Structure 1
Amino acid sequence: MQEILHTFRPDLFSGRHALVVGATSGIGLDIARGFAGLGARVTATGSSAGKIAGLDEEGISFERLDVRDADAVRAFCAAQTRVDVLINAAGVARGEEEWQEEVFLDTIDVNLNAQMRFSFALHDRLAETRGSIVNIASMLSFLADPGVPAYCASKTGVLGLTRACAHRWGREGIRVNAIAPGYHKTDMTKPIWSRPKGEAAISKRTALGRWGTTEDLVGAALYLCSPAAAYITGICLEVDGGFATGNPLE
Structure 2
Amino acid sequence: MNINQLFSLEGKTALVTGASRGLGKAIAVGLAQAGADVICSSSKPGGTAKTRSVIEQHNRKCYEVACDLSSPSDVIALAQDALSLTGTIDILVNAGGTIARAPAAEYSLDQWQTVIDTNLTATFALSQQVGRAMLKQSSGKIINIASMLSYTGGITVPAYTASKHGVVGVTKALANEWANANVQVNAIAPGYFRTDNTQALQDDLQRNAEIQKRIPAGQWGLPEQLIGAAVFLASPASDYINGHVLAVDGGWLAR
Q: Give the counterpart of 2:100 among 94, 111, 117.
A: 94
Bigger shift: 105-114 or 224-233?
Answer: 224-233
Shift in Å, 1:54? 5.0
Opposite residue 107 of structure 1, the aligned amino acid is V
1:213 to 2:222 alignment: yes
Q: Give the counterpart of 1:22 among 18, 29, 41.
A: 18
Bigger shift: 49-58 or 139-148?
Answer: 49-58
C-alpha RMSD of the superposition: 2.0
Opposite residue 242 of structure 2, the aligned amino acid is T
User: For 2:146 and 2:6, how far apart are their aligned partners in 1?
Assistant: 27
**What residue number does 1:179 align with?**
188
- Larger relative contact order (Cα-Cα within 8 Å, sequence gap ≥ 6): 2
Measured at CA, do residues 76 and 93 of structure 1 come closer, stay the same or move farther in structure 2, by a change above 3 Å?
closer
Count of residue pairs the alignment pairs up: 240
User: For 1:172 and 1:158, how far apart are their aligned partners in 2?
Assistant: 21
Conservation of the 8 A alpha-carbon contact between 1:10 and 1:39: no
Shift in Å, 1:203? 1.4
Bigger shift: 224-233 or 31-40?
Answer: 224-233
Deviations 1:61-111 (A, max 9, x none): 221111222223223322401010000001111100771111101100000
**TM superposition score normalised by structure 1:** 0.89
1:91-240 matches, within 5 Å, as 91-96=97-102, 99-127=107-135, 128=137, 130-240=139-249
Gaps of 5+ in 2: none
Query: Secondary structure of the equivalent of 1:188?
Result: helix
Shift in Å, 1:53? 4.8
Query: Secondary structure of the equivalent of 2:79?
Result: helix
Q: Higher helix fraction: Structure 1 or Structure 2?
A: 2
Measured at CA, do residues 227 and 44 of structure 1 come closer, stay the same or move farther in structure 2, by a change above 3 Å?
same
Query: Secondary structure of the equivalent of 1:189?
Result: helix
**TM superposition score normalised by structure 2:** 0.88
Conservation of the 8 A alpha-carbon contact between 1:141 and 1:152: yes
User: For 1:153 and 1:65, how far apart are their aligned partners in 2?
Assistant: 23
Query: Secondary structure of the equivalent of 2:48?
Result: helix
Conservation of the 8 A alpha-carbon contact between 2:188 and 2:248: yes
**What residue number does 1:47 align with?**
43
**What residue number does 1:74 align with?**
76
Opposite residue 18 of structure 1, the aligned amino acid is A
Among the aligned pairs, what percent are the same residue? 38
User: For 2:103 and 2:21, how far apart are their aligned partners in 1?
Assistant: 23
Conservation of the 8 A alpha-carbon contact between 1:180 and 1:239: yes
Shift in Å, 1:125? 2.0
Bigger shift: 76-85 or 86-95?
Answer: 76-85
User: For 2:114 and 2:154, how far apart are their aligned partners in 1?
Assistant: 18
